[in-house]
Amino acid sequence: MSSETKQILTTDGIPLEVSLKKAERRNKIKAFLLVAPLLLFLIITYVFPIGDMLLRSVDDKMVTEMLPKTFKAMEKWDGKELPEEEVFEAFYLDFRQLVDDKREGKLSTQLNYTKNGFKSIIKKLRRKSKNFEEGNYKEQIMAVHKRWADVEYWKAIKRRAPAITGQKYLKGMDMYKNESGEIVSVEEDRRIHRILWLRTLEIAFFVTLFCFLMAYPIAHLLATLPMKYSNLLMICVLLPFWTSLLVRTASWMILLQQQGVVNDFFVGIGLVADDARPEMMYNKTGTYVAMTQILLPFMVLPLYSVMKTISPSLMRAGKSLGGTPIVAFWKVYFPLTIPGIGAGCLLCFILAIGYYITPALVGGASGTLISNQIAFHMKSTLDWSFASAMGLMLLSGVLVIYWLYNKIVGIDNIKLG
């Protein structure tokens, strides 16, 4: 049939179908070329570096590169009894090289992560190894300290042979691989990271909750007031939104200090005694108060833009059908605001979970979050691979939240202002 129907041709004699497809493809390429510069820029400067973080977080080449001969010799070692002379010889040669390059300190730090007790015996080995005679290195090394004759320490070295490791991720969860390769938790009193993760979640959750409880009434007021009043009140929301984060944090530092304005006020009205001013900063209270105020506009704006679209006649209809104002609110108004609640809570929670500046300034020791720990490892300990691992753990958490949100509410209606 189709072969019999005459094809429609354009003026150039090309079938219309082909010509249209061609035009379509040209349009696609045109649209893509417009996006391409930004896309390429972001892929190079942003997406790849995040991939780079992934590589860094599992990277464990440091020890592998410091002891190349040792690990080669260890390939034949079964890892049960003490290794043979050739392993000791290779280790001695690697070690001499490290001492010459003055890098043996790094080795001792790295090995000490794997097993406690390497620091002192490496120091001792450095001193003694200067006077080593050629040959029979096994006995000479074992004579330096009894731990060098302990097979557990050699096993610990062998564990560092692979160039890829997941140990940074385990460390981020306060776990490690013990001698027999099982994954176990560190002792109760050293579980700092778990405390931080839980605290981050807790603070993000409560800050979101406080923001919601405070934002809902004022968003409702803004959406129902006549335009000329609501525009004025809107400034109270937008001015903090546009003001520098550091300025807002600074003002909270002034307010919450022990000699600060809030405490002065409390003393002034006789709520607390002058010598018993409560500490409201450098702890969790400070973090809660400051973060709630800073993130509040992010909750108000989505709620407001949703509430603005709800017709007031719906509430009147609910009431005229016999509902009390509470029932009308709960059954009619509230369900309609759920998209706004979802967007606001998502925004607040995700911003709060990655917060860094405010907790670092007003949080003190008990109010810091996981971001502060990441920054600490980036800037102070320079353990970049650990910082990367924790960053990626945080990122995957954020992505899971997005995914859940998208499943439950749908992501397509996030608007700015």
246 binds another protein (CB under 8 A): yes
Considering the complex, state which of residue 141 and residue 211 has its C-beta at the smaller distance from another protein: 211
Considering the complex, state which of residue 88 and residue 252 has its C-beta at the smaller distance from another protein: 252
**CA-to-CA distance for 147 and 141, rounded, in angstroms?**
10
203 binds another protein (CB under 8 A): no
* Selected range binding another protein among 82-90, 95-103, 171-179, 393-401, rule: CB under 8 A: 393-401
241 burial (CB, 10 Å; 0-12 / 13-18 / 19+) is: middle
Q: Which of residues 55-84 bind another protein (CB under 8 A)?
A: 56
- Report the candidate in 292, 285, 300 with the shortest Cα–Cα distance to residue 210: 292
Shortest spacing between CB 330 and another protein, in angstroms:
14
* Selected range binding another protein among 45-53, 70-78, 144-152, 308-316, rule: CB under 8 A: 45-53
250 binds another protein (CB under 8 A): yes
Considering the complex, state which of residue 144 and residue 281 has its C-beta at the smaller distance from another protein: 281
CA 341 to chain centre: 24
236 binds another protein (CB under 8 A): yes
38 binds another protein (CB under 8 A): yes
Counting residues that bind another protein (by CB under 8 A) gives 88
Q: Would you tell me the crossing angle of helices 137-144 and 85-100 to the nearest 10 degrees?
A: 70
312 binds another protein (CB under 8 A): no
Residue 158 identity (one-letter amino acid): K
Site for another protein (CB under 8 A): which residue of 186, 214, 336, 409?
Answer: 214
Site for another protein (CB under 8 A): which residue of 14, 18, 20, 31?
Answer: 31
45 binds another protein (CB under 8 A): yes
Considering the complex, state which of residue 336 and residue 375 has its C-beta at the smaller distance from another protein: 375
194 burial (CB, 10 Å; 0-12 / 13-18 / 19+) is: middle
Considering the complex, state which of residue 113 and residue 329 has its C-beta at the smaller distance from another protein: 329
Site for another protein (CB under 8 A): which residue of 398, 400, 404, 408?
Answer: 398
| Whether 301 contacts 417, CB under 8 Å | yes
Element (H or E) spanning 184, and its range?
Answer: strand 183-185
253 binds another protein (CB under 8 A): yes
163 burial (CB, 10 Å; 0-12 / 13-18 / 19+) is: middle
Q: How far is CA 244 from CA 254, 257, 335, 367, in A?
A: 16, 20, 34, 21
Site for another protein (CB under 8 A): which residue of 2, 3, 259, 313?
Answer: 259
Element (H or E) spanning 264, and its range?
Answer: helix 261-268
Shortest spacing between CB 283 and another protein, in angstroms:
17
Q: Which of residues 345-374 bind another protein (CB under 8 A)?
A: 350, 353-354, 356-357, 360-361, 371, 374
- SS3 state at 240: helix
Shortest spacing between CB 335 and another protein, in angstroms:
20
Considering the complex, state which of residue 37 and residue 181 has its C-beta at the smaller distance from another protein: 37
Site for another protein (CB under 8 A): which residue of 257, 285, 337, 368?
Answer: 257
Considering the complex, state which of residue 34 and residue 271 has its C-beta at the smaller distance from another protein: 34
Site for another protein (CB under 8 A): which residue of 1, 8, 235, 276?
Answer: 235
Q: Which two tokens stand for residue 186?
A: 């560190």
217 binds another protein (CB under 8 A): yes
Q: Which of residues 279-308 bind another protein (CB under 8 A)?
A: 293, 296-297
- Report the candidate in 230, 193, 237 with the shortest Cα–Cα distance to residue 215: 237
319 burial (CB, 10 Å; 0-12 / 13-18 / 19+) is: middle
| Whether 301 contacts 216, CB under 8 Å | no
Task: Provide the 8-state DSSP code for 84.
Answer: P
**CA-to-CA distance for 220 and 89, rounded, in angstroms?**
77
Q: Which of residues 105-144 bind another protein (CB under 8 A)?
A: none
Site for another protein (CB under 8 A): which residue of 105, 117, 260, 323?
Answer: 260
Bridge partners, residue 15, by sequence:
9
